[in-house]
Structure 1
C-alpha cells in the first residue's frame, strides 16, 4: 500500500472512530440530560404518546390522561381543577417543564423510574405499550375540601399532618389556578393560560404551603417555650417569668412592648402558661434574652428549621439567623426579626409537640401502582426526622397550648367534646401592611390525629389588624373537624 492510500485509510478510520465515540456519548452519556431539556420537543412528544399515570386521592383521579385523536394521543386532565392544583401542578406541551407532582414524580408518572425497569422490559418483550405508574397520595379529601372552603378568598396556605406518621393530610394554597387550560393541546390557549398565570400579581402559581416563607409571629413562641424548658430556664408551666408592659432591650433605645401596652400580670410577673395564653411578648422576649440566639436556633433546628426537605416537591428552607445579638434574640423569640418559615414547617412544630416530642418526616405519596393497580411500592415505615424535645417537655407545652384554646387567644378553634391544643400568631412584615394571621394546632390533645398550620396573608380578606385567633383559628378548626369526623 502506497503512502497516500495508507494516510487516507488512517483518516477514514479516525473519522469512523470519532463518529462512534460521538454517537456513544450522545446515546448514553448525554441521553438523560438531553431528554430532560425543556426545549427537546421530541422527548415531550414521546412522553405524550404514552399513557401517563394517574394521581389518586381517596380513590379518585385528580390528574389523569385520556385518549384523544391528535398527534399527542393523550390529553392530561385535572377533574377537580383548582382544589388540587398546587399538589398536581400541570403537564403541558406548550409550557414544557411540568410543575408540582407532575414534575417531582415525573419519572414515576411517565414510566421512566428505576422501580419500573422490570415492567419496561416486560413491555418490550410482549410488545405492550409502556404506561406510567399511578401514584396514590396521603391526602384526606374531606380535609382538603374543608381547608379550601375555610380559606376562601384569602391569600395564604393550610397544611395538615398526621403527627404520628408525617403523612400530609391536606395542603391548600390560595390563590389557586386551573391546570386544565395549561395542559390544553390548543397551543394558543395553553400559551395564554401560562401568560396569565406567570404574570399574576398574586402569584397563584406559588405553592405557599411549601414555598411561601413568612415570619411566624407568635406561633414561634411554642419553640421558645420548648427551648426554655429543655434548657432549664423554666421548669414547668407555672414557672414565673417577667411580664412588664415593655421589655428594656440592651444595646438599643428601642423597647419590646406588649400589643395592648399593658403588663401581663401583677407586679410585672406572670406564669409561663398564662404568658402563652395571652401571647405575652415581653415574657417570651425575656426568655429569648436569657436563652440567647444560639440556643433558640438549636431548638428550632430540632423541629426541622434549616433542613432541606422534599415531599417529594422541594420545600423552602425555614431559618433562624445565626449570630443574633441580644435585642435580635428577644425579637426572634417572638417570631420576628429575620425568623422565616413555611406553613409546612410550622405544622411540623405542632406535630412534634403532639407526637411526644418526635418530629416525623413529612411525605405525600402513599403508594405507587402499576397501570393495573398492582402495588409497586408502598410508603416506607414512618421515619423520625428528629427528637425535638423530651416527652416531658412536650407534655408541658401541650398543656399550655390546650389552655390557649380553652382560656386564651385561640378560643375560636374549640371543638365541642375535644381537647384542642393551639397557638395564635400575628406576624408583622412589610411596613404599612396588615400583619399575617397564623394558627397552629393539633387534636385531640391526648391522642392526636391531626396537626394543622394556617397562615392568612395580611390578616385575611378584610385587611384589618386582626390576630390569628380571629382569622386563622376557625380555618384550622374546620380542617381538624374534617379529619376527626371522617
Structure 2
C-alpha cells in the first residue's frame, strides 16, 4: 500500500472512530439531558404514548390518563378539578409538568423510575406497552374537603399531619385552579389556559402550604416557650414572667407593646401559661431578650426550621435569621422581624409537641403500585426528623395549648367531648395591609390523631388576636373533626 492510500485509510479510520464516540456520547452520556430538554417534543410524545400512572386518594383517582384517538394516545385528566390542583400539578404536552406530583414524581408516573426497571424488562420481553406506576397518597379525602370548604373564598393554606407518622392528611392552598384545560390536546386552548394561570397576580399555581413563607406571628410563641423550658430558664407552665403593658427594648428607642395596651397581670407579672392564653407580647419579648437569638434559633431548628425537605415536592426552607441583636431577638420571639415559615413547618411544630417532642418527617406518598396493582413500595416506616423537646416539655406545652382553647384566644377551635390544644396568631407583614391570621392545633390532646396549621392571608385584625381565633381557628376545627369522625 502506497503512502497516499495509507494516509486516506488513517483519515477514514479516524472519522469512523469520531462518529462512534459521538454517537456513544449522544446515546448514553447525554441521553438523560437530551430527554429532559423542554424543546424535545419527541420525548414528550413517547411519554404520552404510555399510560401514565394514576394518583389516588381514598381509592379515587385525582389524576389519571384516559385513552383517546389522537397522536398522543392518552389524555391526562383531573376528575376532582380544583380540589387537588396544587397537590397534583398538571401534565401538559404544551407546558410539560412544572408543578406538583406530576413533576416531582414524574419518573414513577411515567414508568422511568429505577424501581420499575424489572417491570420495563418484562414489558420489553412480552411486547407489552410500558405503563407508569400508580401513587396512593396519605391524604384523608374528608379532611381535604373540610379544609377546602372551611377556607372558602379566603386566600391562604391549610395543612394537616398525623403527628405519630408524619403522613400528610390534608393539603389545601387557595386560590386554586383547574388543571384540565392546561392538559388539553387542543394546544391553543392549553396555551391560553397556561397564559391565564401563569400571569394571574394571585398565583393560583403556588402551593402555599409548602412554597409560601409567612411570618408566623404569635404561633411562634410556642417555640419560644419551648426554648425557655428546655434551657431551664423557666421550670414549668406556672413560672412567673414579666408582663408589662410595654416592653422597653435595648439599643433602640422602639418598644414592644401588648396588643390591648394593658399589662398581662397584676404588678406587671403573669405566668407562662396565662401569657400563652392571652398571647402576651411583652412576656414572650422578655423571654426573647433573656434567651438571646441563638437559643431561639436553635430551638426552632429542632422543630425543622432550616431543613431542606421534599415530600416529594420541594418544600421551601423556613428560617430564623442568625446574629440577632437584642431587639431583633425580642421581635423574633413573638414570630415577627425576619422569622419566615411555611404552613407545613408550623404544622410540624404542633405535631412535634403532640408527639411527646418528637418531630416526624412529613410525607405524601403512602404506596406505589405497578400498572397491574402489584405493590412496588409499601407504606414507608415513620422517620423521626428530630427530638425537638423532651417529653416533659412537650407535656407542659400541651397543657398550655389546651388552656389557650379552653380559656384563651382559641375557644373557637373547641370540639365538644374532645380536648383540643391550639395557639392563635396574628402576623404583621406589608404596611397598610391587615395581618395574616394563624392557628395551629392538635387533637385529642391526650392521644393526638391530627395536627393542623391554618393561615388566612390578610385575615387578621391589626392589634388583636381576633383574626387567629375568629377566622383561622374554626377552619382548624373543621379539619380536626373530619379526621376524628
TM-score w.r.t. structure 1 length? Answer: 0.99
CA distance in 1, matches of 2:248, 2:233: 19
Which residue of structure 1 aligns with residue 455 of structure 2?
Answer: 455
Which residue of structure 2 aligns with residue 294 of structure 1?
Answer: 294
CA deviation string 1:43-86 (max 9, x = no partner): 00000000000000000000000000000000000000100001
CA distance in 1, matches of 2:438, 2:98: 31
Which residue of structure 2 aligns with residue 267 of structure 1?
Answer: 267
Which residue of structure 2 aligns with residue 318 of structure 1?
Answer: 318
Mapping for residues 447-486 of structure 1, pairs under 5 Å: 447-459=447-459, 466-485=466-485
Which residue of structure 2 aligns with residue 44 of structure 1?
Answer: 44
Tell me the CA shift for residue 39 of structure 1: 1.3
Which residue of structure 1 aligns with residue 174 of structure 2?
Answer: 174
Q: Does 1:436 align with 2:436?
A: yes
What's the C-alpha RMSD, in Å, of the aligned pairs? 1.1
CA deviation string 1:208-262 (max 9, x = no partner): 0000100000000000000000001110000000000000100000000000000
CA distance in 1, matches of 2:462, 2:322: 33
CA distance in 2, matches of 1:44, 1:358: 43
Aligned-partner SS, 2:62: strand
Aligned-partner SS, 1:296: helix
Q: Does 1:11 align with 2:4?
A: no
Which residue of structure 1 aligns with residue 331 of structure 2?
Answer: 331
Call closer, same or farther: CA 1:201–1:464 in 2, change over 3 Å.
farther
CA deviation string 1:177-218 (max 9, x = no partner): 000000000000000000000000101110000001000000
Call closer, same or farther: CA 1:295–1:463 in 2, change over 3 Å.
closer
CA deviation string 1:372-391 (max 9, x = no partner): 11111113210000000000
Mapping for residues 10-409 of structure 1, pairs under 5 Å: 10-409=10-409
Could you tell me which runs of 5 or more consecutive residues in structure 2 were left unpaired when the two chains were aligned.
Answer: none
Tell me the CA shift for residue 464 of structure 1: 11
Q: Tell me if structure 1 keeps the 8 A contact 2:367–2:380.
A: no
CA distance in 2, matches of 1:8, 1:49: 46
CA distance in 2, matches of 1:110, 1:464: 51
Q: Tell me if structure 2 keeps the 8 A contact 1:157–1:455.
A: yes
CA distance in 1, matches of 2:314, 2:478: 27
Q: Tell me if structure 1 keeps the 8 A contact 2:63–2:76.
A: yes
My pick for the range that moved more, 301-310 or 90-99, is 90-99
CA distance in 1, matches of 2:11, 2:462: 76
Q: Tell me if structure 1 keeps the 8 A contact 2:321–2:338.
A: yes
CA distance in 1, matches of 2:66, 2:4: 63
CA distance in 2, matches of 1:97, 1:110: 11
CA deviation string 1:246-279 (max 9, x = no partner): 0010000000000000000000000000000000
Tell me the CA shift for residue 474 of structure 1: 0.3
CA distance in 1, matches of 2:98, 2:306: 27
TM-score w.r.t. structure 2 length? Answer: 0.99
CA distance in 2, matches of 1:99, 1:318: 20
CA distance in 2, matches of 1:479, 1:17: 66
Could you tell me which runs of 5 or more consecutive residues in structure 1 were left unpaired when the two chains were aligned.
Answer: none
Aligned-partner SS, 2:253: coil
CA distance in 1, matches of 2:463, 2:406: 25
Aligned-partner SS, 1:424: strand
Tell me the CA shift for residue 463 of structure 1: 10
CA deviation string 1:376-416 (max 9, x = no partner): 11132100000000000000000000000000000000000
Tell me the CA shift for residue 467 of structure 1: 2.1
Aligned pair count?
484
Tell me the CA shift for residue 97 of structure 1: 3.6
My pick for the range that moved more, 357-366 or 33-42, is 33-42
CA deviation string 1:65-120 (max 9, x = no partner): 00000000000000001000010000000012432000000000000001100000
Q: Does 1:421 align with 2:421?
A: yes
